[in-house]
Chains A and B, each alone.
Chain A
Amino acid sequence: MGRVEMQRYILIRLVQAIFVLVAVSIIVFVLARLSGNPAFLILPIDAGPEEVERLSKFWGLDKPLHVQYWKFISNAVQGDFGESIKWPGRTAMGLIGGRLVATLQLTLTALILAAIMAVFFGVVTAVTKDTPIDHLGKVFALLGQSAPTFWIGIMLIWIFAVEIGWLPTSGRGGINHMILPVITLGWFEVAAIMRLVRSSMLDTLDSEYVKLARIKGLREWKVIWKHCLRNAAIAPLTYFGIIAGTLITGSVIVETVFAWPGIGLLAIEAVLGRDFQVVQAVALVFAVGFVMINLTVDILYAYLDPRIRYG
C-alpha cells in the first residue's frame, strides 16, 4: 500500500494546512484592524481621547502590530479569543461552545439525510437516463440550486407553519422544530450532490468491468449498487470540501431564518452588534473546521485512490 508514500503525503498536506491556517489568521487579524484602532468600535462615539487611550492600553492596542498579532495567536491557540463586546461578561469562546451543539445538530442531520437522498436520486436518475424520471430529477436539482435558501425557508414557514399550522415557525427543539430547517438546508445540498453522483455513475456504468459483471450473469441491481456505486462514490468525495463550505453558508442563513441558536446566528448577531471579538473567533473556528475537513477528505481520497499519492 506504500506506507512511506502515504506518510509523506499526509505530512505534506498537514504542513500545507498549517500554512493556510496561519495565513487565514493573519487575514482575519488584519481585516479586523483595517479601520484603525478597534477601540472606536467598542466605545460610544462621544468618548474622549483619554478613554480611548485607556482602553487601548487595556486591550494592548497601542503595541506594535506584530506584537499584537503574536498575542492574538498565542491566545487563540489556547482557545482564548477575548471577551465579547455585545454580551459583556461572556468570553467569545464560551459563546461559541454553547452554540456549537445546536449548529451541529442541524448541519449533520441535514448532511446525512442529504447524502443518502442524493446518492439514491443520483443513482436512479443515472440508471433511468433521459426518461421522465430523469427529467423530474433534473427539475428538482435545478430548483434546488436556483432558489435562494433563505426564500425556501421563509416559504416553507409560510406554507407549513402559518397557513396549515402543522409545524412551529421557529426556534430550536425536537423533531418538529427540526423538519423545516433541515429540509431548507438540505435541498440545496441534495441538488448539488445528486448531480455529481449522477455524472459519476454515468461514467462508471459504461466501463469495461461493468460489462464484464453483466456478462458474468450478475443481477442488474447488484451490478448497479455494489459495483458501480463503490467507484462512483469516489468522485463526489473531492467536492466534499466545497460542500462543507456551502453547508457553512447555508447554516448561517437557515439559523437566521428559523431563529435557531447556533454559531451561524451568533455570527450574524455579532456582526450586527459590531462585536468583532466574537466575529474574529467565529471566523477562525470555522476556518479551522473547514481546513480540517479538507485535510481529512484529501487523506481519505489518497487512501481510496492510490494514483493520487504518487502525483
Chain B
Amino acid sequence: MATIAGVGRRPWYSPARIGLTLKEARRYPIIPLIIMLVVLIIPSIFANVIAPHDPIKSDLSHRLEPPGWMGPTLTTLTVVETVKDSTTEVSLANARRLKEGSALGETPHLKPDLAVGQQVQVIKKPGGGWERPLGTDKLGRDILTRMIYGARISLMVSLVVIAIAGVVGTTLGIMAAYFGGWTDYFISRVIDIAMSLPAILIALVLVVVVGPGIKVLIGIIAGVLWVQYARLVRGETLGIMSRDYIARARVAGCSHLRIMARHVFPNVFNSLIVLATLQIGFVIIIEASLSFLGVGIPRPTPSWGSIVADGRDLIIQTAWWVSLFPGLALVLTVLSVNLVGDWLRDKLDPKLRQL
C-alpha cells in the first residue's frame, strides 16, 4: 500500500506482515488437510511402497511385541551360588552363559566380569524394537503395516460407497422432484421405507444369508446412504423447478434429460459435494464398526475396525497397542475429514448447516 518508496513499508519479518499471511492461511483448513493426507490418503495410495512388513502373513516369533519406544520386558536376576528361587536368582555358571542380544532369554548388556551378588537383566518378552514401531498383534503381524493397508481399505470403501450412493440418490432425487406426480410419490415412499430401517439390521440379515465380504459391505452401506442424497437433491431441485429458466428451456424444446443434466444438476452440485465430504467420515466409521462386529471386511484383510476387535481381548493381557493405534487413526481421519467438510460447507452452501 505504500506508494512513496520506503515510507510505511514494514520488513517481511515484522509481526504485522506475518500476521496477515497467517490470517490468509487460516482461511483454509490446513491442519486437517495435512492430517488427512498423512493418515489416510498417502498410506492408501502408497501402501505397497511404504509398508515395512506384510500385513497378512503371521510371524509367530514376534507375537505381541510392544511398540518401539517400550523396549523388551526384562526381569532382573541376582547371581547366586545356589539357586533357591529361580524366578529371581540365577547361578553363576548360567549367568556366564548368557548371550547378548534382543531375543528371549538373552541379556541386553553383557557385563564383562560376573560375580556373585551382581544383577543381570534377562529378556522375558522380546520386542519393542523400532522395526515394528507400533507393536505386533497376537499373530506377530506388524500393526503399523496393517494400519497402512487398513487406510487403503477405508478410503476405497468410502469412495466407492459414496460414488454409488451419490449417483443413485442424485438421479432418483432429481427425477422425483422434476417429474413430480406418481414418480415423486413412489420415490418418496421408497425413501421413507429405507429410512425406517436401521442400517445395521439389514447388514446383519444379509451377512447371515450371503456371508461377509467387501462387496456385500459396499452394497449395504450404499443401499442405506443413497437416501440422504435423494432427499437433499429432491429438496434442492424442488426449489429450482420454480424458477423461470426451467420452463423456458422446456418451451425452447430441450428434452427432459438435457434440462436435468444442464440446468438442474449444476445447481445441486455444490450441496452434493458438501454432503459427500461430510459423509466420508460417516462411512469410514460405519465400515469400521461393521468390521469390528465381524460382519464387515472379513479376515485376514486388515481393516482398522477389525484390528481394534483383535485387540479387544488383548487389553486384559496388557497388549493395549493393538486397539489404541488403529482407533487413533480412525479418530484423526474422521475428525479432519469432518473439519474439512465443515469448511467446505461454510464456503459453498451455508444453508446446509443443519447437516
Contact = CB atoms under 8 A, between A and B. Distances in A.
B300 to A, nearest CB: 17
Q: Chain A binding site: helix, strand, loop or mixed by DSSP?
A: helix
A101 B295 CA distance: 25
B192 A20 contact: yes
Contacts of A34: 206, 209-210
A133 interface: no
B312 A283 contact: no
B200 A249 contact: yes
B208 A151 contact: no
Interface size class of B (residues with CB under 8 A): 35 or more
A3 B318 CA distance: 64
A280 B323 CA distance: 32
Interface residues of A, number: 54
B320 to A, nearest CB: 5
Interface stretch (A48-56, A138-146, A171-179): A138-146
Interface in B217-271: none
B354 interface: yes
A271 B201 contact: no
Q: Chain B binding site: helix, strand, loop or mixed by DSSP?
A: helix
B209 A253 contact: no
Interface stretch (B64-72, B92-100, B328-336): B328-336
A252 to B, nearest CB: 6
A59 to B, nearest CB: 15
B198 A248 contact: yes
Contacts, number: 143
A35 B198 contact: no
A157 B315 contact: yes
Given A146-B331, A151-B330, A271 B295 contact: yes
Given A38-B209, A147-B331, A279-B208, 15 more contacts: A23-B193, A24-B193, A27-B202, A28-B205, A32-B208, A35-B210, A143-B335, A146-B334, A148-B305, A155-B327, A158-B315, A158-B323, A276-B208, A283-B205, A290-B198
Identify which of B198, B205, B311, B315 gathers the most chain A CB atoms within 10 Å of its CB.
Answer: B205
B323 A252 contact: no
A148 B311 CA distance: 15
